[in-house]
Structure 1
């Protein structure tokens, strides 16, 4: 069992010796990096899971040490705030051009909108600005016949993040460059 509540695990009939505990302050958006990540490690293999953790750690170090004008998380956050509050863009599209990332828009949506879905600041005061956009998206090829017409030729400002693999794991890897052209 993966739980923060040993009593509930025992009441359910599971020996707490078979329980992976994690702190009760670990929110859903951070659970990947806690014991909840066990299911991911089992699915992708521990070597790949360690690479995932190493990549996250490298970005954490970058965020903590890079100057603001070169700090990728800060720049992306500022662009998002700018589009949402100064240009009135209410949505942001996440468009991966890799079928292996087909669930990434939903994952990013959950993390971003859960974190920014607040109407008060950290002191409990109501805010008078937009706290975040509506995040949505699909893999590029799905979206091309569904909503790209609106993005390219419509009257709405829709900021988009196009994501493409640096190295394709798809047997038809040359198709990525064709799809992106």
Structure 2
């Protein structure tokens, strides 16, 4: 069991160095050789854990999803009331800063999804789950509009994606504070229909 733990630890260390590499320079500059150098291990060690670059990127995707899941669970958003939960989810799905490592990895992997079918399948699955979560939160926050919640979730997720990309790529124009203001405005518009 100790040997299995050591292998898992080594794999985790490699994924952390991979996260650093992707966040710093994107996916195109990442190679098995570069990762081995960053981790201070032999190329064969990296290849033992990840046979191909695609295997490496799929592992990176799962690593990002695990870290995002950890942020979600640690936020306590599920314990909030319906309106606060919707606002909390919105905040969690926005990029918190232009140098956020998790967001930079996400953007690089999403860009890769445009021409890598395996990464694209992972992206579709994750974003479908995220849309489902938002649809449920939207319906709970405004039950009178529950029949609109699926399309509204798609619209909100597209807005959050666009704002996050802008924070990462145009931080002078789209600051994190501005992106939060715009997202909160969309949510307020959804909730104001409750009063009508």
What's the TM-score bracket when you normalise by the shorter of the two chains? under 0.3
Larger Rg: 1
Bigger share in strand = 1
Structure-1-length-normalised TM-score: 0.27
Structure-2-length-normalised TM-score: 0.26
Bigger share in helix = 2
